[in-house]
Structure 1
Amino acid sequence: MTTDPTAGASTIGGDRIRFGASASRELSDSHGKTIIADAVVAKIAGIATRQINGVYDLGGGTARVVGALRDRIPGAGVDHAQGVSAEVGEKQAAIDIGIVAEYGVALHELAAGIRRNVIAAVENMTGLEVTEVDITVHDVILLDETDPGTDPDAKPRVQ
């Protein structure tokens, strides 16, 4: 494999493969068709969202309750797509994300950072064009607040 840094492409056996921001959005060719499931795009978007400082959790009330229950089951993994839904077409994707933000973070800047990271991750990994990323802030949480029901070292209010 050789890389041509000026063209944003690599060659393997003489075939040119485009990648990055200049990638071809074509997911089908004479050899076949690539179908990317909605759940795959949602998972990529969820992981990209969690990478942004200021995001405490993903999802609204119900999704977070289900996530908390799942976390208590031994061996259960993290649902990276929690709070994220995606609609995928042949060449484009639209994504909806629900978040809980940390208190003190500028929400408009947080949303812009999430959008940039999600668009870059989804477009680079799938070749789909992301047409929109809608973000709903469901809650803001103080990090120094503790919930006595989840903190094993918390003392009960009454004896």
Structure 2
Amino acid sequence: MAVNETNTPVKSQENTHQNTLTFEDQVIKKIAGIAANEIKGILSMSGGFMSGLTDRFRSTEDITKGINAEVGEKQVALDLKVIVE
């Protein structure tokens, strides 16, 4: 801020930036998958026919199997398909 001769503050013209933080759906799905693996009582995630078929050809398990995520501006909606004890 600049000060004029009468010692009162004068507003300077500064650029203001509005910061936003966004997450991809896949990132949220991975976080939810890791969290679901930590919950007692959840045996596995159920991804459906295509997920089961692709798992046969992979060497590692897909952590996002059975998770659908919709990321909005202020909230996230998660759908989990799990097999419980």
TM-score interval, normalised by the smaller of the two chains: 0.5 to 0.7
Deviation for aligned residue 1:56: 1.1
Identity within the alignment, %: 34
User: What letter matches 1:55 in structure 2?
Assistant: I
TM-score (norm 1): 0.38
Which residue pairs with 2:66 in the alignment? 83
Alignment correspondent of 1:97: 80
Higher relative contact order (CA 8 A, sep 6+): 2
Higher helix share: 1
Summarize the Cα distance change of 1:91–1:40 in structure 2 as closer, same or farther, 3 Å threshold: same
C-alpha distance in 2 between matches for 1:89 and 1:77: 30
Question: C-alpha displacement at 1:67, in angstroms?
Answer: 5.5
Equivalent residues in 2 for 1:8-157, closer than 5 Å: 30=17, 32-62=19-49, 65-66=52-53, 68-70=55-57, 73=58, 76-102=59-85
Q: Which consecutive unaligned segments of at least 5 residues does structure 2 have?
A: 1-15
SS of corresponding position for 1:39: helix
Larger Rg: 2
Tell me, yes or no, if the aligned pair for 1:59 and 1:83 is still in contact at 8 Å: yes
In the alignment, the residues of structure 1 paired with residue 18 and residue 52 of structure 2 have an alpha-carbon distance, to the nearest angstrom, of 45
Tell me, what secondary structure is at the counterpart of 1:32? coil
Give deviations 1:85-120, integer Å, cap 9, x for gaps: 110011110100001112xxxxxxxxxxxxxxxxxx
Asked if the contact 2:55/2:62 (under 8 Å) is kept, the reply is no
Relative to the length of structure 2, the TM-score reads 0.66
